[in-house]
Amino acid sequence: MDKDTLLSKREVFFQQIIEHINRPPSKIDIVLNQDKYYILPDMSNTFVNSEYGDMIININGSFFDKNFNVFYSFWQLSDTLKIGIAINDDELQGAFASDSHNEVYSIWGSKNDPTIDIARGRVFYDWEFDVPHLYDSYKQQERFILGVKHMHFRVMRIIHDECQRIFFGSELTSNTRDVADDDMELISEIINENVNQDKELLKAIKDVDFNMPKDNN
């Protein structure tokens, strides 16, 4: 395969990935209740360079009033394809590290565990595939073209659930603080009421005439 043919096929491959990940959730996605996790890619910060085998897809979204930014990276040279996820937010990185639902490691099947790297304040997950026949047919590419959308749903689910946990955690803390404030106010009112009652009792005692004559009867 000559250079021009290779670059042309790679360009088509990258564009098909972009086209598919930009498609809205299907009826099956809705039935599976995963449509709520879908975030449309930010195409203004998505870059393709077929000549150098690079593509970056940016996901810039928000769940539960928390903004986040994630990058999907693609690197295809010779017989190798690498797909990566970069997470910037340190509050979300922990959710990926714990991976309580095993979402990350099973994205591309049990035979393709990711490597993990931490650099420049980001956590990177990278999968590497041996693809000597990638451009022989669509069948060779389909796994990645359709799989990226599947990966996107899984990544967004992790982020959605963590944003939800952070949101309700902060709400619980705020409510607990409000309850504590209310309790302190109630305690203060009770103390003040008791103090006032004690003052009235002392006043009543002072008003008693202990020198009253005894009744001889």
Q: Which residue has the higher pLDDT, 206 or 189?
A: 189
Give me the residues paired with residue 73 across strands: 56, 84
pTM: 0.76
Domain definitions of the chain by residue range: 3-168
1 compared with 188, residue with greater pLDDT: 1
Confidence grade of residue 217 (pLDDT, cut at 50, 70, 90): low
Judge whether residue 213 has pLDDT over 80. no
41's CB contacts (< 8 A; 6+ apart) are 18, 21, 22, 57, 58, 59
The pLDDT assigned to 49 comes to: 97
pLDDT at 172: 60
Q: What is the average pLDDT across 52-76?
A: 96
* pLDDT tens-digit map of 117-173: 887 778 889 999 999 999 999 999 999 999 999 999 999 999 999 999 999 987 665
* Residue, of 87 and 100, whose pLDDT is higher: 87
Q: How would residue 179 be classed by pLDDT, with cut points 50, 70 and 90?
A: low
Instruction: Please give the structure tokens belonging to residue 187.
Output: 């305690």
Residue scoring higher pLDDT (202 or 61): 61
What φ, ψ does residue 20 adopt, rounded to 5°? -70, -40
Q: Letter for the amino acid at 47? A: F
Q: How confident is the model at residue 109 (pLDDT cuts 50, 70, 90)?
A: confident
Neighbours of 49 (CB within 10 A): 12
Of 208 and 190, more confident: 190
pLDDT, tens digit (0-9, with 9 covering 90-100), for 193-205: 765 666 665 666 5
For residue 123, what are its two tokens? 């956590």
pLDDT score at 114: 82
Average pLDDT over residues 104-127: 81
The mean predicted confidence, pLDDT, of the chain is: 85
pLDDT in tens, 36-57: 999 999 999 999 999 999 999 9
